[in-house]
Amino acid sequence: MTTVELRSSIVADLDQMSVEMLENVQHYVRRLRRHARTVNKAAAKEEVPDIVLSLLGAGTPVAADDLNARKAYNGNSSSHR
């Protein structure tokens, strides 16, 4: 094989590898986007617990004596753990 033929062969191989790599990246990105849509739909359907809302200032307030909202989280405001 001459040097020109060898170079042509290498260039052709590199071109083919570039095409295959691009296709793999495109496939990967499509899968990521599909997964992200599925996760976003599931997250949108999930209800945010009252304790989280209260800690964000949007739900029922936590009692002043409830350190770290433990009583509210455990659902029992009268007993300590």
Could you tell me if residue 80 is inside a domain? no
Looking at the structure of the chain, the number of domains it has is: 1
Q: What is the structure's pLDDT at 59?
A: 62
3-state SS assignment for residue 61 = coil
Question: pLDDT digits over 39-64, tens only?
Answer: 877 777 777 777 777 777 766 666 67
Could you tell me if residue 48 is inside a domain? yes
Q: Which residue has the tokens 């599909």?
A: 34
pTM of the predicted protein model: 0.42
| Residue span of the structural domain in which 61 resides | 3-74
Residue of 33 and 62 predicted with greater confidence = 33
Q: How far apart are CA 9 and CA 79, in angstroms?
A: 78
Could you tell me if residue 29 is inside a domain? yes
Q: What is the structure's pLDDT at 23?
A: 92
